Amino acid sequence: MANLVSTWSKTTQILPENYIFPVDERPGSVEVPLCQNIPLIDLSQSQSQTVQEILDACQEFGFFQVINHGVSEDLIDDTMKVVKEFFNMPDEEKEKLCSIDPTNSRKFPTKSCKLYTSGSNYANEEIHFWRDNLRHPCYPLDEWVHSWPEKPTNYREIVGKYSIEVRELSLRMLELIREGLGLKPGNFGEELTGGQLLSINHYPRCPDPGLTLGLPKHADPNLITVLSQGSVYGLQIFKDDQWLGVEPLPHAFVVNIGHQLQIISNGKLRSAEHRAVTNSTKDRTTIVSFINPCQDTIIEPAKPMIGNIVPRFRPFKFKDFLKIYAEKKGDAEAITKVYKIQP
């Protein structure tokens, strides 16, 4: 794949024009402060305390970090190592391992394990994102693991273990959220959690980080996201018209609410917009696990969340939401408008 940014950017000191974002979208030269208020939640404390902290975090920020989460530090380190090794392999090797269709279109993938560069449709984009992206489904593992890269040789074993543990952690957090919302046990069952996608972002060091983005402003289309950002800073969240930096904490996971959980909670929980910036000195690799509803699942505000008030969103099938998400290029306001019931 000739256009992988990690490959050609090694030999250039200049940011190509088609990577330069419009003035109002680019990060610019003003430094975004690391936010000390994004909640850091210790999962080893009492359950009632955790439920309260998670619910507060989901309402105020839509984001939090977790520690003492039960996923071993060695597994996190090994996974980060093996995904970095993947991106360091020669392009020919990577091409053999993944399906790369000529349009580089995520909308119509021909194979389940795919390597992309930039966004959802490279060929039709005006501006490209400064990232390469490997993504594959993970759940149930037996169904998908054979489509994953065969190299590095321990990729499947390590990433398989990681995806199982991170899925379990995600379900555990959904249970705590369910309790906090006062929903009945079983509310986040297989229909809502039957899909898991692993998305590995690789953002090479960039000659001009102020002008471009690894990922532009978006909210995630899924239920809940668990992200491992390693030790390199780059994630920012948008709150009260300001960008806030999320501090990389060793072995912590960053958790955020996706559009689906915002809608199920009738807007009580925030699906916050966020973006990834680049930097000029270090490559940055992030491992993102998305828990998704099944394609045909109907999503709507949970009855107990509505009570005597009216639902704020109309029902829809998850797969139809994904189409709208792609059409609107992740623009949270435009997407929400499609599903919002106007008062």
| Nearest-CB residue for Ni ion | 220
**Which residues ranging from 285 to 324 are in contact with Ni ion (CB under 5 A)?**
none
Of the residues 276, 291, 299, 332, which one makes contact with ligand OGA according to CB under 6 A: 276
User: Half-sphere exposure (CA, 13 Å, Cβ side) for 242?
Assistant: 11
Which residues make beta-bridge pairs with 133?
116, 201
Tell whether residue 138 is a contact of ligand OGA (CB under 6 A): no
Of the residues 9, 265, 271, 286, which one makes contact with ligand OGA according to CB under 6 A: 286
C-beta of 179 vs 220, nearer to ligand OGA: 220
CB of 130 to Ni ion, least distance (A): 15
Contact call for residues 113 and 98 (beta carbons, < 8 A): yes
Joined together, the tokens standing for residue 129 give 């994102």
Tell whether residue 274 is a contact of ligand OGA (CB under 6 A): yes
Question: Residue 199 touches which of ligand OGA, Ni ion, none (CB < 5 to 8 A by kind)?
Answer: ligand OGA
Q: Give the whole-angstrom CA distance, residue 297 versus residue 192.
A: 7
Place of tokens 């001009």: 208
Place of tokens 């400064």: 130
C-beta of 165 vs 220, nearer to Ni ion: 220
CB of 229 to ligand OGA, least distance (A): 5
CA-angle at 14, arms to 10 and 16, nearest 5°: 100
CB of 54 to Ni ion, least distance (A): 19
| Nearest-CB residue for ligand OGA | 286
**Which residues ranging from 184 to 243 are in contact with ligand OGA (CB under 6 A)?**
199, 201, 215, 220, 229, 234-235
Tell whether residue 159 is a contact of ligand OGA (CB under 6 A): no
Q: Are strands 40-42 and 63-67 parallel, antiparallel or unpaired?
A: parallel
What order of strands is seen across the sheet that includes strand 195-203? 40-42, 63-67, 253-257, 224-228, 284-292, 195-203, 132-137, 114-117
Question: Residue 165 touches which of Ni ion, ligand OGA, none (CB < 5 to 8 A by kind)?
Answer: none
φ and ψ at 134, to 5 degrees? -110, 130
CB of 220 to Ni ion, least distance (A): 4
User: Half-sphere exposure (CA, 13 Å, Cβ side) for 151?
Assistant: 11
Q: Give the whole-angstrom CA distance, residue 79 versus residue 84.
A: 9
Counted residue by residue, the chain has a size of: 343
Tell whether residue 245 is a contact of ligand OGA (CB under 6 A): no
Q: What is the C-alpha radius of gyration for the chain, rounded to an integer number of angstroms?
A: 19
Tell whether residue 288 is a contact of ligand OGA (CB under 6 A): yes
**Which residues ranging from 203 to 232 are in contact with Ni ion (CB under 5 A)?**
220
Question: Residue 286 touches which of ligand OGA, Ni ion, none (CB < 5 to 8 A by kind)?
Answer: ligand OGA
Q: Give the whole-angstrom CA distance, residue 276 versus residue 301.
A: 30
Q: Can you give the binding site for ligand OGA, defined by CB under 6 A?
A: 199, 201, 215, 220, 229, 234-235, 274, 276, 286, 288
Q: Can you give the binding site for Ni ion, defined by CB under 5 A?
A: 220
